[in-house]
Amino acid sequence: MHYLAEAATEAYEAARATVARFVGADPRGVVFTKNATEALNLLAYSLARRSLGPGDILLSTQMEHHANLVPWQLVQPDAGFELRHVPVRPGGTLDLDAFEAVVATGRVRLFTVTGASNVVGTINPVRELAARVRAANPEAVVVVDGAQLVPQVPTDLLDLGADFLVFTGHKLYGPTGIGVLAGRPELLEAMPPFLGGGEMIANVTLEGATFNEVPYKFEAGTPMIAEAVGLAAAIDYVNGIGMGAVRAHEVALLGAAIPALEAVDGVTVHGPHDPAARCAVVSFSVEGLHPHDIGTIMDREGVAVRAGHHCAKPLVRALGSAATTRASFAVYNTLDEVDALVAALAATRRFFDR
Ligand SMILES: Cc1ncc(COP(=O)(O)O)c(C=O)c1O
């Protein structure tokens, strides 16, 4: 009843409306979660574990972040579906022939794919893949991991042809501790709750409970109010620039960075080389150098890169290594910073050549 509490609720629901507009979703289909990982676990437990069974295929890909691999693995033994993965080709794109072979069985009940790879940058043809999956099995549900896609490429749920889209606040210039599951409200309505507790109920007795309407059925406990409001502020920020302009800027940075990195002795950039076909994470390997050594020396040069498996071990293994070095560009980066990155990599090369 208190006006401050009401103001907090209003701000939280306004954040939901902002998120919904941003990705073309119905606000009733926008569930706030802790991060993208929790959103995918929600789908694994409340959808895959309950609605898929023996004879069904859950199709994922070798290109996924662990967040889009492990939750499905966890529920697979209980549900008994078959878990399959589309392999990745050497150039860092999905093997579409292998995809087609699995889809043609008509047994794919859930297809989950990243919109853009956090390692090789590849932007997947989600709309075409979703249409193909649905044509082969009208009951199939399509899930898109938008953790990299949503912050970098204008994204619309309906246009993608997806049933569910997940993303995470901290990659969208927002706070940590907030993620989004955006999906079709009628599918969410048919799903059982994931986490139980306060807020998600309609009535509780000692014997059982009935549940709130969506999206609240999936938001147990005190919500991430501050984080959701922070995420909406971040969305206002990118909307102020325009997602088209964000994308154009990052494509320009990629266009400069990819050839300049490959001009450094011994450097191979992974994934598609056409900036239009990829998002703005650039993984590379340097012949004879370990990514952790590269990361350490580049840090001394004042450049932050990430070294490791990037939480995508099956993909990095497919690239023929245990780790890569990755530069990530965002809307605030400049062409001068691309030059600084390349100069730091060249200096790192010289350091180890001494
Ligand atoms: C493609 C992709 N999916 C999922 C995630 C998981 O995001 P979070 O750890 O915020 O849940 C990430 C984050 O690195 C990502 O890049």
DSSP letters along 231-293, please?
A: HHHHHHHHHHH-HHHHHHHHHHHHHHHHHHHHTSTTEEE-S-S-GGGB-SEEEEEETT--HHH
Residue 117 CA to residue 54 CA, distance in Å, equals 30
Catalytic residue status for 279: no
CA distances for 104 relative to 31, 57, 125, angstroms: 32, 11, 18
pTM of the complete model: 0.97
Q: Which of 311, 330, 340, 346 is catalytic?
A: 311
Span 249-289, pLDDT tens digits: 999 999 999 999 999 999 999 999 999 999 999 999 999 99
Residue 305 has pLDDT above 90, yes or no: yes
Q: pLDDT category, 22, cuts 50, 70, 90?
A: very high
Domains parsed from the chain with CATH numbers:
3-241 (3.40.640.10), 243-353 (3.90.1150.10)
Q: Which two tokens stand for residue 125?
A: 């043809």
Residue 288 CA to residue 290 CA, distance in Å, equals 7
Residue 312 CA to residue 280 CA, distance in Å, equals 17
Span 57-73, pLDDT tens digits: 999 999 999 999 999 99
Mutate to test the pocket of ligand 1, among 311, 326, 328 (most ligand atoms within 8 A of CB): 311
Pocket of ligand 1 contains residue 37 by CB under 6 Å: yes
Mutate to test the pocket of ligand 1, among 88, 118, 164, 231 (most ligand atoms within 8 A of CB): 118
Q: pLDDT at position 20, please?
A: 98
Pocket of ligand 1 contains residue 310 by CB under 6 Å: no
Pocket of ligand 1 contains residue 67 by CB under 6 Å: yes
| Ligand 1 centroid to residue 242 C-alpha, Å | 23
**Cβ neighbours of 326 (radius 10 Å):** 21
Q: pLDDT at position 338, please?
A: 98
Pocket of ligand 1 contains residue 112 by CB under 6 Å: no
Residue 243 CA to residue 207 CA, distance in Å, equals 49
Q: Which atom of ligand 1 is nearest to the CA of 38?
A: 11
Q: pLDDT at position 309, please?
A: 93
Displacement of CA 147 from its chain's centroid (Å): 2
Sequence length of the chain is 354
Q: pLDDT at position 271, please?
A: 97
- The answer to whether residues 84 and 102 touch, using CB atoms and an 8 Å cutoff, is yes
DSSP letters along 303-341, please?
A: ---EEE-TT-HHHHHHTTSS-EEEEE--TT--HHHHHHH
Q: Which atom of ligand 1 is nearest to the CA of 114?
A: 1
Residue 106 CA to residue 55 CA, distance in Å, equals 10
Q: Which atom of ligand 1 is nearest to the CA of 311?
A: 14
Q: pLDDT at position 1, please?
A: 82
Residue 58 CA to residue 40 CA, distance in Å, equals 13
